[in-house]
Chain A
Amino acid sequence: MTIDLSAIPTTIDALHAALTVLSLLLFALLFLKRANNATATGSVDIPANVESAKPAAAVAPAPAPALRPAQLKETGPEAALQLLALLQQDARFIDFIQEDLSGFSDADIGAAARVVHEGSKKTLSTYFQLSPIRSEEEESRISLPAGFNAAETRLTGNVVGEAPFNGTLIHKGWRVTETRLPKISDGHDSSIVAPAEVEL
């Protein structure tokens, strides 16, 4: 199969029809979730899917009900930049990731990784309260009742049939139950995640 992104489809084939239906479904799901006040982490994945379906939706004549554009959340860069700055300050995170590891022994990398690990751990525990989503042991069998929260628990593998779903817990998941990020003063330039340092 060859893919030509510049080609404009002239007729609706089965694939496009399916994509249209999928995009509509996703829109509907998104709005439902919004109504349920889904957490930010939960809603991040969905707009991504929506976007990939957009070109198809644009060419397909929309069947009723009329399409409504998704309300995409603009995540301001401030909080992300702040977290980067905190990780750099406490854990030298950017320094470490920006390094080229080739040519260094595992001992060297290990020594630096300790700094990053200790610092990141401190940052995480200072600014976030984390708790696992599932309290069961990983690799144990669990059962999901009908109406389980699909944002909290993702089904994989042989996903067929009706709830309750029985399966193996692969990853217990993480949820941020509390965020205590510092406030940023008005005049602060968040894009400077680590100032240059000059010793006099």
Chain B
Amino acid sequence: MSEDITSNSNSSNRYSVGIDLGTTHCVLSYLDLVEAAADSTVTPQLTVLPVSQLTLPGLIEEKYQLPSFIYMPHESELNEGDIALPWNDQPKHIVGCIARELGSKTPIRLVSSAKSWLCHGGIDRHADFLPAGSPEEVNKISPLAANVEYLDHLRSAWDHRFPDHPLVEQDVTITIPASFDPAARELTATAAKAVGFEHLTLLEEPQAAVYNWIYTCGDDWRNQVSLGDIILVVDIGGGTTDLSLVAVTEDDGNLTLNRVAVGDHILLGGDNMDLALAYKVKAKLAADGKELQPWQIQAITHACRDAKETLLLDNDIDEVPISVPSRGSKMLGNTLRTELTRDEVQQALVEGFFPLVDINDHPRAARRSALTQKGLPYAQDPAVSRHLAAFLSRQADAANDLNGTSSESDYDPADPLASSEGRFIKPTAVLFNGGVLKAPVLAERMLAIINQWLSTASAEPARLLADSDLDLGVASGASYYGYVKQGHGVRIRGGLASTYYVGIESAMPAVPGMEPPLEALCIAPFGMEEGTETSAGSAEFGLVVGEPVHFRFFGSNVRRHDAAGTQLDQWLDGELEELPELQATLPAEGRKVGEVVPVTLHSKVTEIGTLKLEAIAVNSTDSHGNPERWQIELEVRDQ
């Protein structure tokens, strides 16, 4: 593709930088493009930046991960000298390890999961409300500003190390969940621009994991997969589970990769698992008549995290002691002691989160139930396997368009209802990512579940693609992507992961008790690539000058064939998912307030990877004689 904004041989953007802007941790990896260009036969070196950060008041350490937390201290809580950073002796916000540490004892002042809030359409993500639900006097910050803080900390740490190559001038790729909706993608880009990044690209995390795998394999990746393969990427991080399907096709005799489907945004991850264990231990202690304080539960959660790692290894340790010391200086006689057994871990994690379920066993709760709820929409069903079963079933036809490699030979068009039960896309290879799947027992179970579905459907078992560091892989893959973009190695074809529609209310007389029927106009088709634009047909809308006009907005990750301009008057239940509404405001300049201007809709996928929607005036032009255009906002902000 010719979208290289980087190919100008400006010495300032010497590095390709990948940033994993995670729910619980951020990681930055980089690749020296100049060094890589000097000898293209050598695999370029990826390095993870040790990020300087406060770990305790006054102590600065370098760590590969920057915990995505901000602490809002009380004015008399910390001495000025204790929060100095190498590049700033009076930072405005306290970010990283120290924030998590302080926040574990004072949760009302801790900002966490800011990334998940970015994808929460029910609230104004520019509004300062984090830490959510804390007393009024605690300083608040918006989800957007919190993400700016994490990026800015990484920028400062980088600039401190490479003063001659400021991060904002480098090629920066920031990873986002594949399930991020257009508004969340736009917000991530906005955060990055607020930090000042000049050469920015967004990349879906599961794709970054695939790039990392390709990097790790080198040229050998072509031997590990073959034409017709469908790679399932399962990424279970600290806070979210992200699913994608990548199909292997052929183009001019070369293997190519296509991201054909992405899953829903599932707020379910390793943190849930640690909590589940802690509550198990709590119940056990309660049975012995020991009541626990909240701080003890926190300490147990910590201890369980370590114990879990031991018990999930393939070894013969059957139990790990859990000791929780008193908070006071007297330890003896006050230390709570119990143990976590292999059976308990097996039950709570393996059976609780990865039950062996049928392919038709899907999560019970509604997918995106209420957009208006104030808390984060955590997954109601903790079973990762049910979410995966739902994803594979929903995407049964995802790869049908590619090279006719459909694995759906069992599909009987004469009787679609009978065979739709149990139809699912059959992955032939699996790639794992995220810290949770580092545990061999969980990775084995996940693969066993998938293979059980495959063998029931009499398909070949899927093979596990060799993986590397599951914690740092996404950032590494992203920095490698910056190199791939310059024309080295294979690039994953992706484009939009959903088809997008605006809702049109049909004109008909009002009938009491019945909503006016809704039609959906496709404005951006599935697979629309970066750097392209399209017009949504000739349907006209009236924009009222001077006041915000709202559009209902829908996405579908299963309807792949609707072209821009297609108007749907009916669709299957669950095919279209309502997203936060869009808003357009026409400035009143040169027009009468209240006047209605007819417009058509136009969409564009930017080089960065965000969706832009515009309203184009049908019969008015600007001073250059071009039709007037107005930006349609992907999110509605509180006025």
- Taking Cβ atoms with an 8 Å cutoff, the residues of A that contact B are 82, 85-86, 89, 92, 95-96, 98-99, 101, 104, 108-109, 111-112, 114-115, 118, 180, 182-190, 197
Contact = CB atoms under 8 A, between A and B. Distances in A.
Given A82-B59, A183-B59, A183-B86, 9 more contacts: A104-B332, A111-B321, A180-B62, A183-B52, A184-B58, A185-B60, A185-B84, A188-B57, A188-B58
Interface residues of B, number: 31
A174 to B, nearest CB: 23
B82 interface: yes
A186 B84 contact: yes
Interface of B: 52, 55-62, 79-84, 86, 89, 105, 306, 321, 323, 325, 327, 329-333, 335-337
Contacts of B333: 104, 108
B82 A188 contact: yes
B61 A182 contact: yes
Nearest to A197: B327
Contact of A112 (B55, B58, B83, B332): B332
Contact of A99 (B57, B84, B330): B330
Contacts of A185: 58-60, 81-84, 89
Contacts of A112: 323, 325, 331-332, 335
B321 to A, nearest CB: 6
Interface centre among A108, A109, A112 (most CB of B within 10 A): A112
Contact of A187 (B84, B105, B306, B321): B84
Given A108-B335, A197-B327, A188 B81 contact: yes
Interface centre among B59, B80, B306, B336 (most CB of A within 10 A): B59
Given A95-B329, A111-B337, A112-B332, A184 B306 contact: no
Nearest to B80: A187
Contacts of A104: 332-333
A182 B325 contact: no
Contacts of A183: 52, 59-61, 86
B323 A111 contact: yes
B292 to A, nearest CB: 16
Closest 9 pairs between A and B when the two form their complex, measured CB to CB = A187-B81, A188-B58, A111-B337, A182-B59, A185-B84, A182-B61, A183-B60, A111-B335, A112-B331
A99 B58 CA distance: 28
A135 to B, nearest CB: 25
Given A111-B323, A197-B327, A184 B332 contact: no
B195 to A, nearest CB: 24
A2 B323 CA distance: 53
A17 to B, nearest CB: 52
